[in-house]
Amino acid sequence: MLTTTLSFSNLHHHGELFAKLFRARKQSFIIQKNWDLPEAEDMEFDQYDTPQSRWIAVHDKGEVLAGFRLTPTIARCGIYSYMIRDAQKGILGGSIPQDLLYAEAPVDEQVWECSRVFVGHDIPQSLRRKVHFKMVEAMTASARELGATRLIALTGASWPRWYGRCGLEAEAMGRVLWIDDGHFQCVSINLTAKMH
C-alpha cells in the first residue's frame, strides 16, 4: 500500500493516479453519499482543486483506496479561499452553516485545511483500519513537509474516538453540526505534537 502526494507540478510523474483519485471521489461523494457536486469526465471536483492545493492518494496495485486534499488557509482563487472559511463567510450558499467555528477562520501560512477525505466504500473491513492509519500518516507527513504546524478539518463528529487511536492531538473548533447525512464538527490538529 502506497501513499502519493500529488500537485499540479508533479502529476506527469504519476500516470493516471490524479484522474483515478478524482474518479474515486465521484464514487464516494456523488454516487455513495449522493452529494450535489460538480463532475466532468467521471470525476468529482470543486473550486478548491487549484494549483494551491495538494492531493494525497492511498493506493495499491493501481487502485485508489482512499484520499484527501490539503489547501493552505492563505489560498485565494477569485472569491474563494478555503472551504471552512468560505462557509463561515456565507459564500457557499448555506450548504454548510455559517456558525461552524467558535472564532474567525484562520488565515495563516502554517495552517492548512484537510478536506474531501474518503475511504473507498468497497474496502473490506479487515483492511479499513490499516487504510485509516496510512491516511493519518500521509496527512501529517505531507502537511509538515508543506510547512504546516496545524491542520483544520470539518470531520465526522465521532472524531474524538478515532483521532486519539491514531495518535493525533486535536481539539474542537466549533459546535457539532448536522450537514446532509450526518453530524460533523470542525477540528484543529496539532502537527507539532509527537504522534504516540
Residue 93 pLDDT: 84
Q: Is the pLDDT of residue 49 over 60?
A: yes
Q: Is the pLDDT of residue 193 over 80?
A: no
> Is 26 inside any structural domain?
yes
Confidence of residue 151 (pLDDT cuts 50, 70, 90): very high
> Is 196 inside any structural domain?
no
Mean pLDDT of the chain: 94
Domain that holds residue 169: 2-190
What number of other Cβ atoms are within 10 A of residue 118's Cβ? 21
44: left (phi over 0), alpha (psi -120 to 50) or beta: beta
Confidence of residue 14 (pLDDT cuts 50, 70, 90): very high
Q: Is the pLDDT of residue 160 over 90?
A: no
Where residue 136 sits, what CATH number does that domain have?
A: 3.40.630.30
Q: What is the mean pLDDT of residues 128-153?
A: 95
- Name the grid cell of 7: 500537485
> Is 40 inside any structural domain?
yes
| Cα 156 from chain centroid (whole Å) | 12
* Amino acid (one-letter) located at 95: S
Q: Is the pLDDT of residue 196 over 70?
A: no
What number of other Cβ atoms are within 10 A of residue 49's Cβ? 19
Strands 39-40 and 111-119: unpaired
Residue 194 pLDDT: 67
Residue 180 pLDDT: 80
C-alpha distances in Å from residue 104, one per residue of 20, 41, 66, 100: 35, 37, 30, 10
DSSP string, 88-126: HTTTTTTSS-TT--SSPPP--TTEEEEEEEEE-TTS-HH
C-alpha distances in Å from residue 58, one per residue of 4, 39, 157: 7, 21, 23
Domain count, the chain: 1
Confidence of residue 162 (pLDDT cuts 50, 70, 90): confident
Per the CB < 8 A criterion, the answer to whether 177 and 97 are in contact is yes
Residue 133 pLDDT: 92
Confidence of residue 94 (pLDDT cuts 50, 70, 90): confident
Q: Poorest-confidence range of 23-27, 45-49, 159-163?
A: 159-163
Higher pLDDT, 94 or 86: 86
What number of other Cβ atoms are within 10 A of residue 180's Cβ? 11
* 3 state DSSP class of 74: coil
Question: What percent of the chain clears pLDDT 90, i.e. is strictly above it?
Answer: 85
Q: Poorest-confidence range of 22-26, 138-142, 177-181, 186-190?
A: 177-181
pTM for the complete prediction?
0.94
Q: Outline where 44-124 has alpha helix (H).
A: 83-88
> Is 195 inside any structural domain?
no
Place of cell 492563505: 74
